[in-house]
Amino acid sequence: MSKVGLLGGALLLASGCRGGDAGQDNAQSAAVAEAQASVDVAMSRAAAALAAASAPRPRTAADERLALAAMPETYLKTSDVKSDEKAAINHYLQMTSVTVSNTSHFSVSDLRGTVTWASTSGVSVASSPFSLTGSILPGETKTFSTMAGTLLSPGAQGVAAQSSISFRRVAISN
C-alpha cells in the first residue's frame, strides 16, 4: 500500500471514530461550554474586584491631616508676598509681608518655611528661612508681617525679580 493510501485510511479512521458517537461529542461540547461559562464568571468577578480595589476611596480627616503635615503647600496658599524695597537697592532680599490662606479643615500655627528668590528667568538667586507667629483657622486668610511682629525672615544677599514660598513645618490643631 502507498503512503497516500495509508494516510487516507488513517484520516477516515479518525473521522469515523470522531463522528461515530454523537452522544460523546455532545457531552464533550457541554463540558467545554460549562468550563467556558465558569471561566467567564471568574473573569467577571476578578474584573469587578480589580475595579473596586482601584477605585479612589473617599479622603478622610486623617488623610487630610497627614497630607497637611507632609506637604503643607497643598492646603496653605500664599499670595501678596512683599519685600523691603529699600533693602533691594543694596542687594539685600527680605520678605516683609505674606498672606496665607488655609484651605484645610484644621487650624495651623507655628508655620516655618523657606522663601526662595529667583531671577526673571526663574534661576534661584538666594533663599532664606522664615517663621510665622500666630494661627490660621480653617478657611481663613491672614496676612503676616515684620511690622506686626508675626513674620520673622532674616533675608539674603542677591538681586531677584520674584519669590516663591515653601512650607517646611506646621503645627496642626484640632
Reported as a single tens digit per residue, the pLDDT across 76-96 is 999 999 887 665 566 778 889
On whether both 82 and 22 belong to a single domain, the answer is no
On whether both 79 and 143 belong to a single domain, the answer is yes
Cβ atoms of residues 67 and 135 within 8 Å: no
On whether both 32 and 84 belong to a single domain, the answer is no
pLDDT at residue 73, as a whole number: 92
pLDDT tens figures, 10-67? 444 444 444 556 667 788 888 888 888 888 888 888 878 887 777 787 778 899 999 9
User: Which residues on adjacent β-strands are paired with residue 163?
Assistant: 117
Report yes or no on 121 lying in a domain: yes
Q: pTM for the full model?
A: 0.64
Report yes or no on 38 lying in a domain: yes
Domain that holds residue 84: 75-172
On whether both 48 and 79 belong to a single domain, the answer is no
On whether both 34 and 79 belong to a single domain, the answer is no
Residue 156 CB neighbour total at 10 angstroms: 19
Tally of structural domains, the chain:
2
The string of DSSP letters for the chain reads --HHHHHHHHHHHHHHHHHH-HHHHHHHHHHHHHHHHHHHHHHHHHHHHHHHHHSPPPPPHHHHHHHHHH-GGGTEEEEEEEE-HHHHHTTEE-EEEEEEEE-SSS-EEEEEEEEEEE-TT--EEEEEEEEEEEEE-TT-EEEEETTTT-EE---EES--SEEEEEEEEEEE--
